[in-house]
């Protein structure tokens, strides 16, 4: 089992989607698999919207939340 799959099983997942630079955030409560999350992102992207899934995986030493993008595997701070 890879790291992203483990993170999806146990951590908070947030779908961020929108148009232009503005987006909305929604806690994902669906099936906890990469395939299910990618299907949800596909639905969000219809009509020219952008979307990403963030899996939260702890905090940095400075208090920022650490998240991993499901599709790219890139780690970021929020």
For range 29-47, the mean pLDDT:
93
Beta-carbon contacts of 27 under 8 Å, excluding residues fewer than 6 positions away, are 12, 13, 14, 15
Render pLDDT for 42-59 as a digit per residue (tens, 0 to 9): 999 998 899 999 998 777
Whether 34 and 5 have beta carbons less than 8 Å apart is answered as yes
Residue 17, pLDDT above cutoff 90: yes
Dist. CA 26–CA 6, nearest whole Å: 21
- Rounded to two decimals, what is the model's pTM? 0.82
């Amino acid at each position: 089992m890879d790291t992203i799959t483990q993170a999806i099983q146990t951590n908070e997942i947030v779908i961020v989607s929108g148009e232009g630079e503005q987006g909305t955030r929604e806690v994902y409560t669906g099936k906890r698999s990469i395939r299910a999350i990618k299907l949800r992102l596909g639905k969000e992207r219809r009509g020219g919207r952008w979307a990403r899934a963030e899996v939260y995986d702890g905090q940095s030493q400075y208090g920022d939340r650490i998240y991993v993008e499901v599709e790219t595997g890139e780690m970021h701070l929020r």
